[in-house]
Structure 1
Amino acid sequence: MEILRIFFRDLKNSFQDLLPIVVVVAIFQFFIIGQVPQNSLSIVIGLIIVAFGLAVFIRGLELGIFPIGENLAIEFAKKGSLFWLLLFAFLIGFSTTIAEPALIAIAQKSEVISQGKIDAFILRLTVALSVGFAIALGVFRIVVGHPIQYYIIVGYILVVVLTFLAPKEIVGLAYDSGGVTTSTVTVPLVAALGIGLATSIKGRNPVIDGFGLIAFASLTPMIFVQIYGIIASHFGSQNTEIITIAKAITQEVVEESHFDIKKIFFDLIAVVKDILPILGVIFFFQYIIIKRPLPHLHKISFGILLVIIGLYAFILGLEIGLFPIGETLAFQLTSTGKIFLIYLFAFLIGFSTTMAEPALLAIAIKAQEVSENRINSLLLRVFVALGVAIGIALGAYRIVTGGEIHYYIIVGYIVVIVLTYFAPKYIIPIAYDSGGVTTSTVTVPLVAALGLGLAQNIPGRDPMIDGFGLIAFASLFPMITVMGYGIYAEFKRKEN
């Protein structure tokens, strides 16, 4: 009975999280576009499946993923071996990324189009190495106790410098890559690892030191992909390979956003394949290196099963209910010629989809727990969602007006750096992490459809150059709003 009570509570919360998306889509569909969706029944069914999947996923995290990450961190801290800890961190980042289905598809497409000049395996290896390096570097920072902002600021400088050297066809895609490399399963596990380490190491604070790993995993791919673009551009005539690859990726994003019954049935296999490398690394280190059995293995196994079922149901519901109508709305709005409606839709869809992000919900729950309620999980999600909304609206404005993406991003980075010196220490790592967790299962497909729809429907815009980049805006602005929230909260606390 207790399990059912908890599940129905989670289910109720899931419906509440999805309500903003439903309201936004309904208002634009019925009152602005003035058309009733042809697939209304499938949309309703899809939303019910999404809510069910989200509830099951969150319960699975609590039972399986969070305990695994925290237990491993404690065991590594007891073992006292920095080498094995860094190797584990690297392999978790590497294995989860190299098995990412979207990365595999893009890498294979790149090899075919470039006639073998771009090797699919080397491309996947490069991106996976960047994430593995990022997680290991983040763990090293926790162990030695360095402030996160120094690492992040240096990383931003590298991103900006490379932006002026990389081919412009690759810049938007490189910026976006930072937001899509951290999967829905990876984020909670990595967060649990960081918090567990910071809790176990003497002199570390789980709030200040425990968060930040996701920020590293979002930053390094931007650097590596731009370096890859610089190198790849030298192998073709006038960047032919890069341009062709960008076209293929653009087309692939559009194609994948359509409902495909075969794809839905294979999503379960994709979810399992995505999780298997993570479990392989975990069990290898647990039983071979640490040489101890996992405590409460049956409970953790059940939690992992719930994560797989919940994530599969979540993706299935999105494919049936939200993706088709989201893409249709994006194209309908760009065809109306009413620019204000485009910005309003971008803002509202950014806010509503972020509030429903499973990865953000997991991080917010953990932030409230380790901060002993100093950070309110709902308020944190609201401010992150507000940042995403502002970012996507501004990104849509950039596409409409035809501005260069790097000028916007550079100004945003400057604002982040300035706020870092004013924000309370406990909020900075969480703010940095918030940029990586906002662009995941729900947000990315809808935002990608909006960006590509705008670039394809506005005269003078190129989908290769202008269509990408919205995810980068969605990753940047939450850092600003969350630090702003921290500054305001600290001011009110001192005032009282």
Structure 2
Amino acid sequence: MNKKLKEKISEALSSVLPITLIVLFLSIFVVPLSTDTVLLFFVGAVLLIVGMGLFTLGVEMSMMPMGEAIGSKFTKAKKIWMIILSTFLMGFLITIAEPDLDVLASQVASIPDDVIIFTVAAGVGVFLVIAILRIIFQVSFSKLVIGLYIFVFALAIFVPDDFLPVSFDSGGVTTGPITVPFILALGVGLASRSNDKDANENSFGLVALCSIGPIIAVMLLGIIYHPSEATYDPVIVPQLDTMQDVAKVFAHELPIIVGEVARALLPLGIVFILFQLFTKQFRKRQLMKMSVGFIYTFAGLVLFLTGVNAGFIPVGKLLGSELASENLRILLIPLGMLIGYFIVAAEPAVHVLNKQVEDVSDGEISAKALKYTLSIGVAISVGLAMLRVLTGLHIMWFLIPLYGIALALSFFVPKIYVGIAFDSGGVASGPMTSTFLLPFAMGACEAVGGNIMSDAFGIVAMVAVVPLIAVQVLGLIYSTNVRLFKSKATEADSFPVLLGEEDE
């Protein structure tokens, strides 16, 4: 096996093993689960580990170089309309193929799936254009984000209550494993050609802005269609009697996922081919390496999504419903936080963000520190989401103050941390959130007799907002420590000089 691939699978194992052991512990000592259900989960975990290893290696070999090359070419384009048109088309095509978008579309009543998909894709396309133009014209990220979120919360007043959590969830769901690596690399490529002293800071923030587009798009659909209710697809836990039944579950899911991933990567492949034909950017050896990378990305994403869809969804639903029973309800919040802490490490795009941050900052911001910060943020997010499930509190009682704190912090934190923080929200709320945490919340909500659409949905939005605060707090602590260190170093340097002057 390729040495690099071994390394990636080993990293994936260390990321997925904690959540696997937690589920095993809960199934033995707290919530007894049937052997076949636990087996389903473990087979899913194995596929997830191998898939994540292949995916992260494939992204490094193909999607990151392609995104950076396209981003750097944009800075050389003299016609602004060409940048706007090509950026919109890329954002639209990549989003329309995002596997998680189909899941979102099926949750909304009274609105055709195609209308949801095309509208959300257009929202991402428009906001990717805004993100690119912000870098080119050096517009303040903080001021732009504050203005956009003020508009979002003003618009929320007119959106039906049952539709509101789905609207906010859409921002996290649509920035998934396909869009995030490409958009992150695009930002790095754009910033790399800039002579601006804030080039590193400007390389982040694209994912954050692209997450706002779907929220506004789905809100507008809610206002236009004004559906009387928003339905959801109930999670069905399969009845399994033999190992053959377990194999059939994965065999049934595999071809569906293959089709979704093929459709997801096809637009990127077309963009890459057209880019290469017009620019001749990559040499033959690079093209071969990137082609292998695309194969790794495809295979990894198929295994990953098959594992989480077939193995994690039913277990998430069962754990949530059992922990919300009257006898165990007191454990729902702390155990939800524990699951949230470890599950974010299994998000494939989180690994991409961590590496990107470490590379761009030349190691000053370590991937390890960012990983632990995101874990803490997601743990708090899930705790608050479980509180909503138990109490039925309106989502706005959480989102308004949390976004208020995040936006206020942006004035006091170094710019690079602001961009990273707002990107981290979209990155943390990926497929693991929608395929494990959302069914977990739905199962718990069903058990307590709550409204699933208003109380369980919104967990993706919660996971997307708290990391904004956590990463900025990390930036505040880091920048304070750096200032203190420099201050002490200056004092130490000046002390011997003063002594020497006195001796003379």
Fold conserved between structures, TM > 0.5: yes
Cα pair distance change 1:404/1:41, threshold 3 Å? closer
Aligned to 2:70: 72
Match among 391, 408, 425 for residue 418 of structure 1: 408
**Which AA in structure 2 matches 1:125?**
F
Determine whether 1:227 maps to 2:215: no
Alignment of 1:294-443 (within 5 A): 294-295=282-283, 296-443=286-433
Distance in 2 (CA, whole Å) between partners of 1:451 and 1:78 is 47
Cα pair distance change 1:470/1:119, threshold 3 Å? closer
Contact 1:209–1:429, Cα closer than 8 Å, also in 2: yes
**Which AA in structure 1 matches 2:300?**
G
Aligned to 1:89: 87
User: How far off its partner does 1:418 sit?
Assistant: 1.7
**Which AA in structure 2 matches 1:358?**
P
Distance in 1 (CA, whole Å) between partners of 2:200 and 2:168 is 27
Alignment of 1:126-275 (within 5 A): 126-203=119-196, 205-233=198-226, 239-240=227-228, 243=229, 246-247=230-231, 250-251=232-233, 254-255=235-236, 259=249, 261-275=251-265
Distance in 2 (CA, whole Å) between partners of 1:440 and 1:255 is 21
Distance in 2 (CA, whole Å) between partners of 1:108 and 1:28 is 31
How big is each residue's C-alpha offset from its partner over 1:120-167, in whole Å with a ceiling of 9 and x where there is no partner?
433322111100011111011111111211111111111211221111
Cα pair distance change 1:49/1:382, threshold 3 Å? same
**Which AA in structure 1 matches 2:94?**
T
Determine whether 1:466 maps to 2:455: yes
Match among 435, 439, 456 for residue 445 of structure 1: 435
Distance in 2 (CA, whole Å) between partners of 1:168 and 1:83 is 39
User: How far off its partner does 1:49 sit?
Assistant: 2.1
Distance in 2 (CA, whole Å) between partners of 1:293 and 1:374 is 31
Aligned to 2:46: 48
Residues 119-128 or 184-193, more deviating? 119-128
Aligned to 1:12: 10
**Structure of greater Rg:** 2
Contact 2:68–2:188, Cα closer than 8 Å, also in 1: yes
**Which AA in structure 2 matches 1:55?**
G
User: How far off its partner does 1:272 sit?
Assistant: 1.0
Contact 1:53–1:311, Cα closer than 8 Å, also in 2: yes
**Which AA in structure 2 matches 1:389?**
A
Distance in 2 (CA, whole Å) between partners of 1:251 and 1:42 is 21
Contact 2:127–2:213, Cα closer than 8 Å, also in 1: yes
Instruction: Report SS of the residue matched to 2:219.
Output: helix
Contact 1:131–1:217, Cα closer than 8 Å, also in 2: yes
Distance in 2 (CA, whole Å) between partners of 1:344 and 1:77 is 48
Which runs of 5 or more residues in structure 1 are unaligned?
234-238
Instruction: Report SS of the residue matched to 1:403.
Output: coil
Cα pair distance change 1:266/1:256, threshold 3 Å? farther
Residues 54-63 or 120-129, more deviating? 120-129
Residues 47-56 or 33-42, more deviating? 33-42
User: How far off its partner does 1:359 sit?
Assistant: 0.3
Aligned to 1:480: 469
Contact 2:60–2:293, Cα closer than 8 Å, also in 1: yes
Cα pair distance change 1:103/1:56, threshold 3 Å? closer
User: How far off its partner does 1:25 sit?
Assistant: 1.1
**Which AA in structure 2 matches 1:179?**
G
TM-score relative to the length of structure 1: 0.90
User: How far off its partner does 1:495 sit?
Assistant: 2.1
Distance in 1 (CA, whole Å) between partners of 2:324 and 2:365 is 39
Distance in 1 (CA, whole Å) between partners of 2:378 and 2:137 is 32
Distance in 1 (CA, whole Å) between partners of 2:261 and 2:133 is 30
**Which AA in structure 2 matches 1:362?**
V
Number of aligned positions between the proteins: 474
User: How far off its partner does 1:344 sit?
Assistant: 1.5
Aligned to 2:36: 38
Cα pair distance change 1:99/1:5, threshold 3 Å? closer
Aligned to 2:500: none
How big is each residue's C-alpha offset from its partner over 1:59-100, in whole Å with a ceiling of 9 and x where there is no partner?
111111111111112223233333222222211211122233
Residues 70-79 or 480-489, more deviating? 70-79
Match among 268, 284, 297 for residue 278 of structure 1: 268
Task: Please give the root-mean-square deviation of Cα atoms over the aligned residues, in Å.
Answer: 2.1
Distance in 1 (CA, whole Å) between partners of 2:105 and 2:313 is 24
User: How far off its partner does 1:308 sit?
Assistant: 0.4
Cα pair distance change 1:137/1:203, threshold 3 Å? same
User: How far off its partner does 1:457 sit?
Assistant: 1.6
Cα pair distance change 1:298/1:47, threshold 3 Å? same
Contact 1:257–1:323, Cα closer than 8 Å, also in 2: no
How big is each residue's C-alpha offset from its partner over 1:309-365, in whole Å with a ceiling of 9 and x where there is no partner?
111111222244433322221111112443331101211111111011110110110
User: How far off its partner does 1:293 sit?
Assistant: 4.7
Aligned to 1:236: none
User: How far off its partner does 1:109 sit?
Assistant: 7.9
Contact 1:88–1:285, Cα closer than 8 Å, also in 2: no
Distance in 2 (CA, whole Å) between partners of 1:206 and 1:377 is 20
Contact 1:264–1:319, Cα closer than 8 Å, also in 2: no
User: How far off its partner does 1:107 sit?
Assistant: 4.5
Which runs of 5 or more residues in structure 2 are unaligned?
240-248, 486-504
